């Protein structure tokens, strides 16, 4: 294996480990809040987290935009320009969140009553969590763009495991209900930001292999400059295609089905998410390398390595879940009856494989500044929502087993459609690039 290939493998393995570690901490938070705070506090906590997740697309857009700008800054002039853009992005975040804070002063009491909160204090702590998370997204983008995956992975671990430890400590020793739980999440984000700040060094004039670069002008990248709104809309479409099934089941299924959702649908969904944690980090490593290559630097092999690794690892995992669907349930979710949950596991595995492959292809296009995939992804997200809520009556008319299988089948169909669209855009983009060379 070449030196660049070995470096890519080491960085990918580290990011997989960091993602798993941080994700494990995040997952443990919910069980801890439910156990230490009780059902009412957990309900309030989930309501506040729903507000936090609304800005998830904005965080993703800021992260990706920052990573691309940083990775493409190969000359001193480009570095100075990128530094100015990042300062303006941080200023915009502070301005927008200040406006939200001003609106929260008169509107907070009514919103707290709507969410059945004991006071407006949890809303203000959530506001602080959102502000810190948006600024942390800029930090993560800088680290990813510089290919400082040690710092980026450390932030993920500090955020995930720190959130679990902070929430448990505050609820155990201080209390505070939902306010205490969200305060723990805020404290962990601030700890992660401190870890990221320590990793941020003066902007290096180095290639990804560590060799000094020359002060040559970068080659113009194809596509647009990669503004916030294309990235925001693309991230919104991705979130819809990965999260709408959960929102549909929470709000649409009858009460008699809730236990069936927990025993049949949720285990497969969690296994599908767990499988993605082995492949999505590969795209995180790939993105700055491809963006750097588009600007005239090295890293042109990263896309091929990522696509092959994602298809191989994801394909083997999906095949294993098809042949032995009960095994991941036994390993990851002991105590869950496999006779109920196993039938849906293969559907989730193949659906998540299609989603992660599409993510790799779209990440490659975003790194090149090609955002032609966004309109099609938004259309698919809208059609997916329509297929759920528009056909709610027929979907829930049969038995829970039939209805839940229909939901996951829709998830797979639209993720496959997303992959087909990603392949089409990728082929068009590469043909266009060869034509201009």
My answer on whether 77 and 162 are in the same domain is yes
Residue bearing tokens 């292999």:
209
What CA–CA distance (Å, rounded) separates 62 from 55? Answer: 11
My answer on whether 23 and 121 are in the same domain is yes
Taking phi over 0 as left and psi of -120 to 50 as alpha, with beta for the rest, 140 belongs to: alpha
Confidence of residue 161 (pLDDT cuts 50, 70, 90): very high
Instruction: Average the pLDDT over each of 87-101, 140-154, 203-217, 279-293 and give the range with the smallest value.
Output: 203-217
My answer on whether 141 and 38 are in the same domain is yes
Domain end: 181, 199, 217, which one? 199
What CA–CA distance (Å, rounded) separates 415 from 354? Answer: 6
Give tens-digit pLDDT for 96-125.
Answer: 999 999 999 999 999 888 878 888 999 999
Tell me the residue range of the domain where 319 lies: 228-436
Task: Specify the number of domains making up the chain.
Answer: 2
What CA–CA distance (Å, rounded) separates 64 from 288? Answer: 9
Residue 257 inside a domain? The answer is yes
Nearest one of 142, 124, 144, 143 to 132, comparing CA atoms:
124
Residue 207 inside a domain? The answer is no
CB 341 within 8 A of CB 264: yes
Residue 295 inside a domain? The answer is yes
My answer on whether 64 and 192 are in the same domain is yes
Residue 160 inside a domain? The answer is yes
Domain end: 182, 199, 216, which one? 199
Is the pLDDT at 434 greater than 90? The verdict is: no
CB 52 within 8 A of CB 29: no
My answer on whether 108 and 252 are in the same domain is no
Residue 9 inside a domain? The answer is yes
Q: Which structure tokens are listed for 29?
A: 């938070």
Q: So what's the pLDDT on residue 432?
A: 66
My answer on whether 243 and 120 are in the same domain is no
Nearest one of 165, 174, 180 to 42, comparing CA atoms:
180
Residue 341 inside a domain? The answer is yes
My answer on whether 303 and 190 are in the same domain is no
My answer on whether 256 and 398 are in the same domain is yes
Give tens-digit pLDDT for 306-318.
Answer: 999 899 989 999 9
My answer on whether 160 and 251 are in the same domain is no
CB 369 within 8 A of CB 295: no
């Amino acid at each position: 294996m070449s030196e660049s290939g070995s470096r890519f493998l080491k960085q990918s393995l580290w990011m997989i480990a960091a993602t798993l570690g941080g994700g494990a901490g995040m997952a443990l938070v919910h069980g801890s809040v439910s156990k230490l705070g009780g059902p009412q506090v957990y309900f309030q906590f989930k309501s506040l987290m729903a507000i936090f997740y609304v800005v998830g697309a904005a965080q993703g857009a800021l992260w990706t935009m920052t990573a691309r700008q940083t990775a493409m800054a190969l000359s001193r002039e480009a570095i100075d320009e990128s530094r100015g853009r990042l300062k303006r992005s941080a200023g915009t975040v502070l301005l927008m969140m200040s406006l939200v804070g001003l609106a929260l002063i008169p509107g907070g009491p009514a919103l707290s009553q709507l969410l059945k909160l004991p006071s407006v204090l949890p809303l203000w702590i959530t506001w602080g969590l959102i502000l810190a998370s948006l600024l942390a997204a800029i930090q993560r983008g800088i680290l990813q763009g510089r290919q400082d995956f040690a710092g980026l992975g450390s932030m993920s671990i500090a955020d995930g495991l720190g959130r679990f430890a902070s929430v448990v400590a505050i609820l155990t020793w201080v209390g505070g209900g939902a306010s205490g739980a969200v305060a723990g999440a805020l404290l962990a984000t601030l700890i992660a930001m401190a870890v990221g700040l320590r990793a941020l060094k003066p902007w290096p004039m180095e290639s990804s292999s560590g060799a000094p670069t020359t002060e040559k002008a970068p080659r113009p990248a194809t596509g647009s400059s990669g503004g916030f709104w294309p990235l925001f809309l693309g991230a919104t479409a991705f979130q819809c295609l990965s999260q709408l099934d959960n929102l549909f089941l929470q709000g649409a299924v009858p009460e008699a089905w809730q236990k069936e959702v927990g025993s049949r649908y949720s285990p497969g969904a969690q296994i599908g998410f767990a499988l993605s944690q082995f492949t999505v980090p590969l795209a995180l490593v790939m993105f700055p390398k491809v963006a750097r290559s588009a600007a005239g630097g090295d890293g042109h092999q990263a896309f091929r390595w990522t696509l092959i690794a994602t298809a191989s690892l994801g394909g083997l995992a999906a095949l294993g879940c098809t042949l032995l669907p009960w095994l991941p349930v036994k390993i990851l979710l002991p105590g869950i009856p496999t006779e109920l949950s196993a039938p849906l596991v293969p559907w989730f595995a193949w659906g998540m494989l299609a989603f992660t492959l599409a993510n790799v292809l779209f990440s490659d296009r975003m790194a090149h500044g090609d955002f032609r995939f966004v309109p099609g992804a938004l259309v698919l997200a809208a059609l997916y929502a329509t297929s759920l809520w528009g056909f709610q009556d027929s979907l829930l008319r049969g038995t829970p087993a039939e209805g839940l299988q229909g939901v996951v089948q829709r998830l797979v169909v639209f993720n496959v459609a997303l992959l087909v669209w990603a392949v089409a855009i990728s082929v068009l983009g590469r043909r266009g690039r060869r034509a201009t060379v």
